[in-house]
Amino acid sequence: MTATGPAAPMAGSAVDASADQATMGAATSFRRLSERTLPHAAPDVVRPDYDRASTRIGTVHFGPGAFHRAHQAFYFDRLLEQDTGRAICAVSLKSSLVRDALAPQDGLYTLIELDAHPTLRVIGAIREALVAAEDPRLVSARLAAPDTSLVTITVTEKGYCLDGGGELDFDHPDIAHDLRHPEGPRSLIGWLARGLQLRHERGLAPCLIVSCDNLPDNGVTLRRAVLAFAARRDPALARWIEERARFPRTMVDSITPATDSALRSSVAQALQLQDAWPVQRERFVQWVVEETDAATQPDWESVGVTLSRDVSAYERAKLRLLNGAHSALAYLGLLAGLETVAQAMAEPMLRAFIERLMIEDIQPTLGAPRGAELAAYTRSILYRFENPAMRHQLAQIAWDGSQKLPIRLLGTIADAIRDRRPLARLALAVAAWMHFIRSRVALGMPIVDPLGEQLAVCGRRATGDSRHDLPMFLDLPGIFPANLARHAEFIRALGDAYDSIAARGPLAALALA
Ligand code: CS2
């Protein structure tokens, strides 16, 4: 495989059959989706409108989970219609699941856009899938290739290895490892520094590095982390990155329920081919990228990406309104025994609570967009949450709460305290997270969270009494900023909310907030 020529056939095509079986579920009577079988797909399936064989890899993407495949890869599929140098090399840091599912399919997979009349689309933008832990040389070659001009990223909040203050956590085991072994990194930050170092040594321009994760000021935060890492390794490299590399902020949005076996079966029926890992999302999709002076950018706007000088305000509105409401709905809904977002929205008390939370508590903390625009945005989010075509599991949103709460709710709470606004509803959402941990532990369920072990200890020790339980949760590392964890008014509101849920149950507690 050459790093600069046309994309080679997918690496690892001879994947073992057991991985296929594991991901395939019941739909085994159809042939497997691939370049060869694609012409036999059902006629109404939308398929790549370009010659895949003549495309070249120009983008390295870290973290090709369902969100990437449903979102950025969809935009790149359209870019490839006009610009053949934009194909994607999809890099998983450790897991081989995506590579093993996509390699036998030549990188092809199905995207279902969900609404009353779903659309099936086969996406061809991923031309290569790699696992960095298994193929570090190939990943380095892609990052250092002259054709590669873009690196995009969706590794979720925890993939950035940040501490509670949003700075690179030098105590993180992967970061400590990567500083000792920069040629064989494990972390995203280590890989970005490695790629930039190789380009620097070869006299190539840095790639445009585009974080697409739900972090406030994602580009700025990523740049700080990469610079901090590089400064410890090689000050000259850090200076070059500082001067030359660009890390635009972005806002990404599309609700993407995880793939389940029902989806695999229905896609096989509709496609008339087996797809080991189709992905689904709502039809609504949005990507806002900050304008930069980087020379080798794609023609973003031609495929519906918005370029903007001021992404922060939109990003903040999305993180606080959509993601904040999502998390509140997840914890309260799960405590109430509900399973999906649409079910939670069909519960009148919960829907009314979420609407008030968004309009009365979150909106006033947002400077922009203003007034009517913000009200329309809130309405559209509520409408999207109600989408009956989606089975979006609340549990999926509840994962990684220790990483999500600070970004989605605690900033809003800090602003509400500053502006002397009521805290009851916001506190109820945070208290619901604590009860959620307690209830999962009581049910013997695993806590999916980087702080899972510490949270499980809190959950085991919790009694349901705020005076006993709150200090344990508030003292967890990296979640509650010290000034918030000690703020008397916040502690009072949180204690009231926590005890109210314990005494009355989640739905009755809503009525009082
Ligand atoms: C969700 C997000 O899983 C979650 O935590 O809140 O993935 C949400 O669906 C997306 O950010 C929507 O763009």
- Which residue's CA is the nearest one to ligand 1's atom 9? 255
Kindly report which listed range (184-198, 240-254, 274-288, 292-306) carries the lowest average pLDDT score.
292-306
Instruction: Grade residue 296 by pLDDT with cuts at 50, 70 and 90.
Output: confident
Q: What is the DSSP string of 470-513?
A: HHHHHTSTTTS-HHHHT-HHHHHHHHHHHHHHHHH-HHHHHHH-
Token pair 């009755």: residue: 508
Q: 70: Cβ below 6 Å to ligand 1?
A: no
Q: 275: Cβ below 6 Å to ligand 1?
A: no
- Average model confidence (pLDDT) for the chain? 93
Provide the 8-state DSSP code for 357: I
Instruction: Go through the chain and tell me how many residues it has.
Output: 513
The backbone torsions φ and ψ at residue 331, rounded to the nearest 5 degrees and listed phi first, read -70, -45
Instruction: Grade residue 370 by pLDDT with cuts at 50, 70 and 90.
Output: confident
pLDDT at 484: 97
Distance from chain centroid for Cα 56: 26
Q: 100: Cβ below 6 Å to ligand 1?
A: no
Token pair 């020379």: residue: 295
Provide the 8-state DSSP code for 341: H
The interaxial angle of helices 348-356 and 424-442, nearest 10 deg, is 130
Instruction: Grade residue 272 by pLDDT with cuts at 50, 70 and 90.
Output: very high
- Which residue's CA is the nearest one to ligand 1's atom 6? 323
At 156, the amino acid letter reads T
Average pLDDT (372-397) is 95
Q: For ligand 1, what atom is nearest to the CA of residue 254? A: 13
- Quote the ligand 1 centre to 403 CA distance (angstroms): 13
Average pLDDT (105-109) is 98
C-beta of residue 496 within 8 angstroms of C-beta of residue 427:
yes
Q: What is the DSSP string of 287-327?
A: EEEE----TT---GGGGTPEEES--HHHHHHIIIIIIHHHH
Peptide bond into 477 cis (omega under 30): no
Q: 196: Cβ below 6 Å to ligand 1?
A: no
pLDDT at 301: 96
Average pLDDT (167-178) is 97
Q: 323: Cβ below 6 Å to ligand 1?
A: yes
| Paired strand residues for 279 | 111
pLDDT at 63 over 70: yes
Q: 255: Cβ below 6 Å to ligand 1?
A: yes
Q: 393: Cβ below 6 Å to ligand 1?
A: no
Q: 396: Cβ below 6 Å to ligand 1?
A: yes
pLDDT at 372: 79
> How many whole angstroms separate alpha carbon 133 and alpha carbon 140?
11
Q: Is the overall model pTM greater than 0.75, yes or no?
A: yes
At 362, the amino acid letter reads I
For a mutational test of ligand 1's pocket, the pick from 214, 279, 354, 383, i.e. the residue with the most ligand atoms closer than 8 A to its C-beta, is 214
Q: 286: Cβ below 6 Å to ligand 1?
A: no
pLDDT at 29: 86
C-beta of residue 139 within 8 angstroms of C-beta of residue 132:
yes
Instruction: Grade residue 13 by pLDDT with cuts at 50, 70 and 90.
Output: very low
Please write the tens of the pLDDT for every residue from 315-361.
Answer: 999 999 999 999 999 999 999 999 999 999 999 999 999 999 999 99
Identify the H or E element spanning 109. strand 109-114
Kindly report which listed range (113-117, 137-141, 183-187) carries the lowest average pLDDT score.
113-117
Q: 253: Cβ below 6 Å to ligand 1?
A: yes
pLDDT at 1 over 50: no
Distance from chain centroid for Cα 236: 32
Reduced to 3 states (helix: H, G, I; strand: E, B; else coil), residue 208 is: strand
- Quote the ligand 1 centre to 323 CA distance (angstroms): 6
pLDDT at 369 over 80: no
Average pLDDT (358-381) is 90
C-beta of residue 383 within 8 angstroms of C-beta of residue 337:
no
For a mutational test of ligand 1's pocket, the pick from 397, 399, 400, 449, i.e. the residue with the most ligand atoms closer than 8 A to its C-beta, is 397
Average pLDDT (453-460) is 98
Average pLDDT (38-55) is 97
pLDDT at 18 over 70: no
Closest CA to 208 of 7, 56, 59, 88: 59
Kindly report which listed range (4-18, 39-53, 323-337) carries the lowest average pLDDT score.
4-18
Provide the 8-state DSSP code for 60: E
Closest CA to 246 of 308, 296, 197: 296
Average pLDDT (127-144) is 98
The interaxial angle of helices 324-335 and 424-442, nearest 10 deg, is 50
Q: 25: burial class by Cβ within 10 Å (0-12, 13-18, 19+)?
A: middle
Q: For ligand 1, what atom is nearest to the CA of residue 253? A: 13
pLDDT at 25 over 80: no
| Paired strand residues for 130 | 91
Distance from chain centroid for Cα 149: 22
Average pLDDT (141-168) is 96
pLDDT at 26 over 50: no
Q: Calculate the CA dihedral of residues 406, 408, 412, 414 and round it to 10 degrees.
A: 0
C-beta of residue 332 within 8 angstroms of C-beta of residue 353:
yes
